Amino acid sequence: MVKRTGPTNPVLQGLIQELQKTSIDKGIPLWKRVADDLSRPSRQRRAVNLSRINRFARDNETVVVPGKVLGSGVLSQKLTISAFQFSAGAKEKIAAAGGSVVSLQELVKESPKGKKIRIIG
């Protein structure tokens, strides 16, 4: 049987621990789910295109992608998008649409209760 080691990136390990701690302290299952998704092997982690985010999100909404946001597609809504990684093209298109890019650490500090946040991926 293969021993599962988890992510070796120290930044990602710290983020996962912070999300789990916030989930336990505040009693919010949203952050535990995001932490569980980030602790998957890199091949199974989510990669979401902007076209998918545009299809499922509403205007002025906060979206969390537990993985990487890719720049394929068009974003026609003003969104706040939070993820572990962003491609350069995705950041440009989000800014051009009037949205903002927020790291997961900042989002946890801004909204520890996890209200009005949608997970896409």
For residue 99, the domain's CATH number is: 3.100.10.10
Establish if 1 belongs to a structural domain.
no
Query: Is residue 4 a part of any domain in this protein?
Result: no
Is position 5 within any domain?
no
- Hey, is 12 helix, strand or coil? helix
Q: What is the pTM of this model?
A: 0.90
Distance of CA 55 to the CA centre of its chain: 17
In a domain, 57, yes or no: yes
> What average pLDDT does the structure give for the chain?
93
- Is 112 part of any domain? yes
Domain containing 74 equals 10-119
Report pLDDT digits (tens) over 77-109.
999 999 999 999 999 999 999 999 999 999 999
The reply to whether 52 falls in a domain is: yes
Of 36, 29, 34, which is closest to residue 4 (Cα–Cα)? 36
Q: Are 83 and 66 in contact (CB under 8 A)?
A: yes
User: Number of structural domains, the chain?
Assistant: 1
